[in-house]
Structure 1
């Protein structure tokens, strides 16, 4: 490349043949693949620069020295790269809090975006939902760089029917407000929503290039869990709820919802909604009731509490330390208060992920971690040594699964009380002390006796020689 302030001097960036070609400013970036060459075909490559910097501005030259057996000439081409400040901003006025909406209710999502650039650039804004496809995101509707409203294929019919709209509003402060509305949410609309803004610029060849992008999570939406028609037919909002719950009419005017095997992900606000329909009306999902009313929300909090080390025999050096971590789903008011927090930063011993993968961090002792029941986890330190003594605790993170099988962290965490593990000396170790003391004492006594006997014998011998 040739920087604008380098006076025409060349700077090596990267070479497909010479690993020592990059100059010092590019060496570390080439090593970590931040700057790299990608080959599209035998005679077509492209230079990729991630995390573009202001000093990357300049003229870039692609140079291909001849590698033929006979000289055919050298070839090169150049392009000017300009780097402009990243001024793309995105925000929202309010987020989804997980408050459930009944089917048929209206959902409004807002997102503000702006750019401040001396260059002529365009802005596009898209609303989407996480976790619906293999790549993790599903597009719902967008306003493209030419200000056209473009619904995604899955939402084309609902857009044509006027159930989904997106408009741009000019507001004070330099940021434009984008408002998406869903008139009549459906059970499949539950999930985590986001807003994405992109900045575009038009190259001299009239092609559009995306030069900046920002994504902002708006929050999670839940739609009514279960529904009973006037005929008594029960339908569920998602496949996971079906089969682990029941909605029943127990008497005139009284209905009960029961959920079995609840998880922390089931925490939230629950309410019931009652709708009245005109008689002799075909009750299709799109039929509007003549009157509806809903109850106040009931907040349900589920937390995970974990138990302490079970009682057992005394632990000795060389024994196996066994810690059982029991998760217990219960209302928040029933969760016992933990002990005083640990003063030192805990060191991880082992983890067992939500997908069953175990990871051990200990380098000294043999450690294993497994799940022994649906609600019990076990940590074992085999042939425990003195360095394995200390405070132990269990940390739990609750993960959930959406209707499409994708895992997500619910954000619910719990920590057990701390357990002190102390290793007593083994019996053979305890015998070693008196053995050493005994041998030392016996040796000392023996030396004293031998010295006394020798001394007396020598005196007696000396007296006999004197008499002679």
Structure 2
């Protein structure tokens, strides 16, 4: 009996030492900027009545004064010391209930002297004290150091189709670690507010504004961060709708201990407001239309750039740019260049040697560019746009046939430009459209690199960093063939590249439906350049080995390239054509060609000297017989570099 009594007494003592009331304030330290808003939440739990309103008090202890100073109370209007009484009366400092057990303490405009340790205290309305009734939060008040500027003229004029480049300088000297976000805006004439063009958030994620996504995906709008404080906006192929006041806006963010982000930057009016931003001076951009006048003047040797916009089209579109001399108004228009509904460009025969191209800047916009114009290029230009439909009903249950061919496995040196191809060898219909996605599979990760929808509009994968996007490109050629380009390949680019193609058709009601899909995988291996030391007057051989071919009927054209250490571009030195014709471009009779094996081609440099050192590589074209076209080039592959010293 005595033992049981002893146990009961011990348990009662343990219960008595348990804290029933618990008070908690927002975790600190909290870093805020002068003139910004401070908000501290405080709540209590454990009182006998959860629904009864609890009264709170806030005090502060400042670094230079080791005493507590009363600020505000929910219970006593005269609680404040004189130093805070005026700000409490003017509602600059408030303490507001959000529930019976929690409050929010706010200072609308922080002063430097507000730095200190803030204490939230709960007034006990019960007869006994049982727990923790106070909680503390440290607040650090920082001077503002965010600066934003956009150098250059405040009034800019461009022609339609030209490229706009603006620079924004944004930096901060805040001692605490912070992140900056930056956005470019355009305020168009007649609109109430500005629209974001493109932004880079505090986590370095790039996002185009509404109405600019398509041009961003096509590479026509870019925001590049250069160094620690410079942000460049580039808008290519300007349109009339781009006119207005363009400016950049920066915000500075600090992360609180609860991992939430807080904006601590300056508003445009010179004061600090939560969530506002620091804006640069605006640039008034005016754009003059081109291609819409009866007469347009271009200087000789300059570039002619014309824009053609289409309205109301719903099907696939192709465009043909045509020209005729102004002196012969009755003459027929002659074709200059065309872009078919699959995105394949074809120049007119008489312009094969000229720098002319047709591009699709957006779903409804086509561009003609003709470089180095001559007097013979003057005259009248027109664009002829065709909308493509399927004339007869195609059953959605029809048998779908989609067969792909692709580049074989590749091994290349780092710091080289690489192209990987994927071609449609067999499809269900000549009217098919294709959506293409390139993916990269590496150990522990699969990611989308770039996609092209059935209208040939490009989209980069969401996981890609900006520096990676700048090295990646995709194009369509005849076939259709889909080419993935990687500039200055790095070791991190190696892996399995997967080309996924989806075939689409359109019925007479203009509804699209998917027919079939197929994929091909290409293994890419990247290595460091091979370096060989060759003695003077000795021979050395540059081998070119074909590891895989599409068919046993393939024939090959092989070209060797050479670049000296002091040069920036490689130049061809020897070609072995598929009909066994040999052509040398340099080094005279010191070059010897051999073909010891069906898949092995060698080029030997005789009596080498110091002038022969540098980077060597080879390029192989694969040709296959075609019933309709004779011989057809299907693949072009480049080797890695070999260094000879």
Q: Please give the range of the TM-score, normalised by the shorter of the 2 chains.
A: 0.3 to 0.5
Structure showing the higher strand proportion among its residues: 2
The structure number with the bigger radius of gyration is: 1
Structure showing the higher helix proportion among its residues: 1
